[in-house]
Homo-oligomer: A and B are copies of this chain.
Amino acid sequence: MNLLKEKILNEGRVISEDILKVDSFLNHQLDVDFLVEIGHEFARRFKDTDPTRILTVEASGIAVAAMAGLAMNLPVVYAKKKKASTMGGDVYKARVKSFTRNEEYYICVSSAYLTNRDRVLIIDDFLARGNAVLGLLDIVEESGASLEGVGIVIEKGFQEGGKRLREKGVRVESLAIIKSLQDGRIVFE
| A66 B69 Cβ-Cβ under 8 A | no
A134: CB under 8 A from chain B? Answer: no
B75 close to A102 (CB less than 8 A): no
Of B31, B65, B73, B88, which contacts A75 at CB under 8 A? B31
How many Å from the CB of A85 to the closest CB on chain B? 6
Assess whether B32 is in contact with A77, with CB atoms less than 8 Å apart.
no
Q: Are the CB atoms of A113 and B59 closer together than 8 Å?
A: no
Asked whether A70 is an interface residue with its Cβ less than 8 Å from the other chain, the reply is: yes
Q: A15-B86, A63-B62, A86-B21 are in contact. Are A75 and B29 (CB under 8 A)?
A: yes
Contacts A59-B62, A70-B36 given; indicate if A30 touches B100 (C-beta within 8 A). no
Given contacts A29-B113, A62-B63, A66-B32, whether A100 and B86 have CB atoms under 8 Å apart is: yes
User: Mask for A82-96, Cβ within 8 A of B = 1, else 0?
Assistant: 101111100000000
Other 5 A-B pairs with CB < 8 A, given A59-B59, A59-B62, A59-B78? A21-B86, A28-B80, A30-B65, A30-B76, A32-B75
